[in-house]
Structure 1
């Protein structure tokens, strides 16, 4: 405003200066001063009783500037919080850097060295004397002081050498993975010694990132091993002639191009922390030019049977406060390092670094992931409008009740969206190139840039929906499907994650996939749900606990100036996103007939059991086998992400064919166990860096050379594990179980299946398909999954003989 007025002064002056009358000019200047004085008497109000924070007035004598103590206090406390975070981050970096040793161990080493010198012994074998000779001479230092300084320097070097040695030893120990392939209850002597050594070198009370420097690098598998396992995986999906051709191509590739490319990968593995992850993030996620809605983003749900409060603003208050508490723990590294369930083996935590304050920005050729160290606000969407909600005041985090109050103010705001604002988020849901071009053309300056920066630099994104979701109504199954579909479609897809809050108090989230994988978001969401219900809670009226603070400034409405050309781009992206959204179907259900407890009784891996049930269900549904994707993690290695387990194997196909043809019970049981053992072996190989697909991906040209990686993943599956079982008391609170989450189908003619093993007796499934494909139906496939699970358990527990088994199978065929 000041700039616009001052720019106007010369225009007025030039207009009157042409008269060449000085008196007239002086009068005009005086008039301008009067108008400016009236126009620029600006007062900005803050906090309680609308006290003046600062004011400035332009007078004939100059600018009169006044600052209030409250404004200075706000600035001081906000800066103090920022500096505290920097100091904590620096302290944690030091503690993590010296782990598995501790800072106190340095003092112990120094005292030990000084004590031995006091006893007329030289533990340094002359090194302390050499260090003393290298010290600059000074009259202020006596010979005794020079000796002490030399001893302290030697002790420090010795301490750092010990730390380096301990880290190296721990890294070598964590590279040992043979324990994973040993049978339960039959542990080798080598593994027992290894366990003891790992415990010795692991130190005590690690921070979240303490193990990062000790995790091994992901190994590069041998080309011949990868090709061998690759041929095994495609054998059940190819004819004899196709497989012969595949073997010839694979042999030629191994002897020629494969070995040359392997040297590049080995060179990168020596230089980089992980030879896969950066390429995987860039080429699989960021270079994709199609919509990330449905195709990449995924979602997570609220409790299945319980809604802690029906008040939308109250649920938002607890949810947002819990998220910020989790971020505080993350920044202070107070979260325990993730480990393989039931063991003390650490997992890489590098993906946690970009959980908050992160956004994906579009580009013409490739997107980029932007991360900021801190953010004190969130961006909120409601009824087509965008708001900035500050979550800190005077350096402290707002209480849940204060956040509820602020959210309620947004809900009560009756202002209308600006032209083009209501559907603006469709730009993030459509194709990436149009969004990149629109961002550069319409959002690179002015008010649009400021508002977009507010969204992108927010801690996360919040959507307040006017609709109700969850398990409700006369058809709870259909309501759960609508709930899943609503979460997958989300609103602003570029933020690291978006929290969605519905009118009836239900919540959920939608997460962008490039920066991290689902277990990272799932870990955070488990914490939020339990804090919300069991730690914070609500009062009898359903509101957040605490007092209302009416002195808080209202949330800031973001301003937009969206021209008609940009509105046309928005509508084009909206049409693409709407067509994609309408094409996706969901089926969400909880399988409650049995769970992992019954599966363990037949001495079988629950994951292998479910994967084989999916193979049987798909064969019954489509009458064929398909390339199957199951996500496995490689976080045993530094910066590890995922690897593919090709669940469709020769062993699983042999079992399905035998089971469907009515073979003897004993034969089917033996084939089922063989298939389960094969699946567990494939899963362990993937976890220990001996998978197939990431190595083939990094060889880069293998897909074109062999012509097989273009085969679609018609069955894409993933398990969402519960990582903090201790937070959920399913015995005393059996209804407080989450639905897990899901994702869209990878192939147009395939299924996406996400499942969660909940407690001992429940398995939840999220099945997706596309309406445009007449061959797939998620509800039909869901029925096949239920039937396959029951059939497999009956096979392993029923004592019926061959004739009844065969009769049952034929009746099942007739039914299908």
Structure 2
């Protein structure tokens, strides 16, 4: 154990002959190498701060400016228009004495060059911010690009030629704008119109007008003041009030999951899969710490996205509080926390300043798997505290985990890079019931046994007995695309970079003198054990109520949809509207998550996918209208959805603005019937697309079976559905559907079947149009020849 080695680095005893000093040179060498590694990190961080500070310029550009100034002075010209002379006059007296006149002039020229260089950097950053504030390009039709956008694209490519660090663009990203209150209210009324009767809509319109005329502009002024002062006027309140102040269980309600490859498992050896997975995650952390990751960009463009969410990816915990939780982050940690068969371990993943090899980590994991020791009393189900209500967990933590061995063990979990569960079950698409097994796999990742995950960690990795893996992520610190980027890198590095030997073990050598993993010690009182049972009962009831259904849709994919000249996301969203209408006989408020990471510290916005246009299409299709009319309405609905998505991405959404107005009203102690009604409306259909961001990591041509299943989440409303989907390659879409058994009107499997039928019916409708077009071209072609 690393602590034990460091504790005996030196010993001394007092004897009659004097002081007997004993040194352990091996332990001192370990301490020295760890210190060197720590200082290297500090130097690297300082270097990166300087590089980011001068971006989009470079440090070498200072040399060019200085040489240029000195060269012009050598030619008897003064580019500073007298400023160099004034700088020389104000040099300290000591420099006047110690330097010659020529030396003083040279020093003054260098000072002026530095000031000029810094001014140029500020000017370049201001220009870059202006360029990144231009979003009109997103609304232009394909093939009809304006001259302004063409110039903008050219300038953006010039600014993007230099390879940036992960956070290089952060200070140049624009701030999220506050929409005009009248625009937000109009868009809101438009979004709910198809869901309300005429009388209900008139009542809603009157409420909106009354809000605008009385309270709205007052709240708007406070919000604009915050927008001038804060980096992002939404994100801190969103994190605080939507996530951290929630007092219910975060398991199922907030946390989400990500799955392994669909068809293959790189190895069936549990310890080996853990070794490569842990190594890949730590290699990703190294890239984040060194800022070596390329900033994420809008697909197909050079437009960067905010990378702020990466900062709290590792070494982060959500600690419970009575009124609100808190996110705590540590700069670094050299260990991970592991759970196996009711016992907790701390595994040090660095030795002598180096990262352990995958084979060495496998060796250490196997030691945990082979450890026969039983759990301490009350230890086995301790993790249920993180799965239940937050207030009891906060009280237990403060009373029983703030000192002694319990605090040390809890610190080992909370300060760990991440949490790992070595699960004793087998999961994946296997056996005689692959569909049912996929559903059970999803439920296992979403909640497990309700006590064998540590739901407070930023993310927890699950390694199953048969080598399958997955993750469970806490939601408050980041959104799914950030975790998906991490998981894509992990899966690709595990399978294609690190690899395995022929017998399924990790590659590399093992240093057999590695200290064994440290068993965490607990003293669990009867009061804590009673609360563990209570929290487990709450969590178990929640878990048992979740109905998960996961299915790959193989009939067609992105390639076929694009041939119809339709956005794949719009196609799927309209299909979901059709499926819901067939399932429930009506429409509902639909939540689709859209990112706002074009802005600094941006997170998400809601795309209200249920629009008048989509409802008109569904009614026409179900009402027996002609195919031509249905296709016309579908294309209108598709264009409307794309426009709504673009509006949300560019800061012109509805829901975050109204949410912040509501928060301001609470701070001012004033009530608004309109805002209260808006924020209490249920999202019976909550949807999200998991983006594939690093296709270059996966060779789907040579390895078509290495396809990601994506991930999913629990239902938002008790009587609604949660739908997550991932578009993989050209011919596959994976769906994750969730609902609650307690609601007699919802059934995840039934809704999944409706989704598949809706996709097929809409594609058949569009395919008929394509066939008609091709046949008309065929019949027209001979006629044109006769005319000529």
Relative to the length of structure 2, the TM-score reads 0.94
Unaligned runs of 5+ in 1: 1-42, 803-816
Q: Does residue 657 of structure 1 match 2:613?
A: no
Alpha-carbon distance in 1 for matches of 2:3, 2:550: 51
Alpha-carbon distance in 2 for matches of 1:621, 1:202: 48
Q: Does residue 468 of structure 1 match 2:426?
A: yes
Q: Does residue 730 of structure 1 match 2:688?
A: no
User: 1:801, CA displacement in angstroms?
Assistant: 12
Q: What's the counterpart of residue 183 of structure 2?
A: 225
Partner-residue secondary structure (3-state), 2:98? coil
Q: What's the counterpart of residue 295 of structure 2?
A: 337
Partner-residue secondary structure (3-state), 1:717? strand
Alpha-carbon distance in 1 for matches of 2:279, 2:707: 21
Q: 1:58/1:470 Cα in 2 relative to 1: closer, same or farther (>3 Å)?
A: farther
Q: What's the counterpart of residue 409 of structure 2?
A: 451
Q: 1:45/1:796 Cα in 2 relative to 1: closer, same or farther (>3 Å)?
A: closer
Match of residue 746, structure 2, among 776, 780, 784: 776
Alpha-carbon distance in 1 for matches of 2:752, 2:672: 32
Q: What's the counterpart of residue 690 of structure 1?
A: 652
Q: What's the counterpart of residue 145 of structure 1?
A: 103
Q: Does residue 544 of structure 1 match 2:506?
A: yes
Q: What's the counterpart of residue 187 of structure 1?
A: 145
Contact kept, 8 Å, 1:651 with 1:671, in 2: the verdict is yes
* Larger displacement relative to structure 2 (674-683 or 200-209): 200-209
Q: What's the counterpart of residue 123 of structure 1?
A: 79
Contact kept, 8 Å, 2:345 with 2:517, in 1: the verdict is yes
Q: Does residue 302 of structure 1 match 2:260?
A: yes
Task: Trace 1:308-347 onto structure 2 (pairs within 5 A).
Answer: 308-347=266-305
Contact kept, 8 Å, 1:131 with 1:150, in 2: the verdict is yes
Q: What's the counterpart of residue 778 of structure 2?
A: none
User: 1:44, CA displacement in angstroms?
Assistant: 9.4
Q: Does residue 68 of structure 1 match 2:24?
A: yes
User: 1:547, CA displacement in angstroms?
Assistant: 1.8
Partner-residue secondary structure (3-state), 1:697? helix
Match of residue 515, structure 2, among 553, 559, 562: 553
Q: Deviations over 1:656-684 (max 9, x none)?
A: 11111111111100111110100000000
User: 1:495, CA displacement in angstroms?
Assistant: 0.5
Partner-residue secondary structure (3-state), 1:798? helix
Partner-residue secondary structure (3-state), 2:382? coil
Contact kept, 8 Å, 1:519 with 1:720, in 2: the verdict is yes
Partner-residue secondary structure (3-state), 1:425? helix
Q: What's the counterpart of residue 740 of structure 1?
A: 710
Q: Does residue 81 of structure 1 match 2:37?
A: yes
Q: 1:287/1:145 Cα in 2 relative to 1: closer, same or farther (>3 Å)?
A: same
Contact kept, 8 Å, 2:319 with 2:325, in 1: the verdict is yes
User: 1:59, CA displacement in angstroms?
Assistant: 4.6
Q: Deviations over 1:191-248 (max 9, x none)?
A: 0011112222345011111111110000000000000000000101111111111111
Alpha-carbon distance in 1 for matches of 2:127, 2:529: 60
RMSD: 1.6
Q: 1:63/1:776 Cα in 2 relative to 1: closer, same or farther (>3 Å)?
A: farther
User: 1:56, CA displacement in angstroms?
Assistant: 4.1
**Larger Rg computed on CA atoms:** 1
Q: 1:58/1:748 Cα in 2 relative to 1: closer, same or farther (>3 Å)?
A: farther
Contact kept, 8 Å, 2:423 with 2:464, in 1: the verdict is yes
Q: 1:189/1:67 Cα in 2 relative to 1: closer, same or farther (>3 Å)?
A: same
Alpha-carbon distance in 2 for matches of 1:161, 1:548: 54
Q: What's the counterpart of residue 785 of structure 2?
A: none
* Larger displacement relative to structure 2 (759-768 or 696-705): 696-705
Alpha-carbon distance in 2 for matches of 1:346, 1:157: 29
Q: 1:64/1:148 Cα in 2 relative to 1: closer, same or farther (>3 Å)?
A: same
Q: Does residue 134 of structure 1 match 2:104?
A: no
Q: Deviations over 1:25-82 (max 9, x none)?
A: xxxxxxxxxxxxxxxxxx99759xxx97444446567764412111110000001111
User: 1:711, CA displacement in angstroms?
Assistant: 1.1
Q: What's the counterpart of residue 238 of structure 1?
A: 196
Contact kept, 8 Å, 2:564 with 2:770, in 1: the verdict is no
User: 1:544, CA displacement in angstroms?
Assistant: 0.3
Match of residue 578, structure 1, among 514, 528, 540: 540
User: 1:460, CA displacement in angstroms?
Assistant: 0.3
Task: Trace 1:574-653 onto structure 2 (pairs within 5 A).
Answer: 574-653=536-615
Task: Trace 1:416-427 onto structure 2 (pairs within 5 A).
Answer: 416-427=374-385
Alpha-carbon distance in 1 for matches of 2:4, 2:91: 60
Match of residue 755, structure 1, among 707, 710, 725: 725
Q: What's the counterpart of residue 62 of structure 2?
A: 106
Q: What's the counterpart of residue 351 of structure 2?
A: 393
Q: 1:564/1:58 Cα in 2 relative to 1: closer, same or farther (>3 Å)?
A: farther
Alpha-carbon distance in 1 for matches of 2:509, 2:150: 56
Q: Does residue 765 of structure 1 match 2:723?
A: no
Partner-residue secondary structure (3-state), 2:716? coil
Partner-residue secondary structure (3-state), 2:430? coil
Alpha-carbon distance in 1 for matches of 2:19, 2:221: 69
User: 1:149, CA displacement in angstroms?
Assistant: 1.1
Contact kept, 8 Å, 1:401 with 1:546, in 2: the verdict is yes
Q: Does residue 788 of structure 1 match 2:774?
A: no
Q: What's the counterpart of residue 476 of structure 2?
A: 514
Count of residues paired in the alignment = 757
Partner-residue secondary structure (3-state), 2:318? strand
Q: Deviations over 1:431-482 (max 9, x none)?
A: 0000000000000000000000010000000000000000011000000000
Alpha-carbon distance in 2 for matches of 1:165, 1:384: 59
Q: What's the counterpart of residue 813 of structure 1?
A: none
Task: Trace 1:258-269 onto structure 2 (pairs within 5 A).
Answer: 258-269=216-227
Alpha-carbon distance in 2 for matches of 1:530, 1:758: 14
Q: Deviations over 1:731-788 (max 9, x none)?
A: 1111000100000000000000000000000000000010110100000000000000
Q: Deviations over 1:297-340 (max 9, x none)?
A: 00000000000000000000000001000111111111111000
Alpha-carbon distance in 2 for matches of 1:358, 1:691: 30
